[in-house]
Amino acid sequence: MNSNRSTSGLAYGRKLIHAGISGIRSGQQDLGPRSVSNCMVAAVPDSFKLAALGACLGVLPGLLVRRRSRVSTAIALAAAGSALGFCAGFTWKTRKVTSSLAHSAFREVRRVNDERWLQKHPIDYA
In a domain, 125, yes or no: no
Residue 41: is it exposed, middle or buried by C-beta count within 10 angstroms (0-12/13-18/19+)? Answer: exposed
pLDDT at position 14 is 93
Q: Residue 110: pLDDT above 90?
A: yes
pLDDT digits (tens, 9 = 90+) for 24-68: 999 888 888 788 888 889 999 989 999 999 999 988 887 777 666
In a domain, 53, yes or no: yes
Do 63 and 74 contact (CB within 8 A), yes or no? yes
Our count of domains for the chain comes to 1
Question: Domain range for residue 58?
Answer: 2-120
pLDDT at position 64 is 78
Task: Give me the mean pLDDT over the 102-126 stretch.
Answer: 89
In a domain, 126, yes or no: no
**CB under 8 Å to 105, separation ≥6 — which residues?**
19, 20, 21, 23, 24, 27
pLDDT at position 123 is 81
In a domain, 54, yes or no: yes
111 vs 101: CA distance, rounded Å: 16
pLDDT at position 125 is 75
In a domain, 116, yes or no: yes
32 vs 30: CA distance, rounded Å: 6
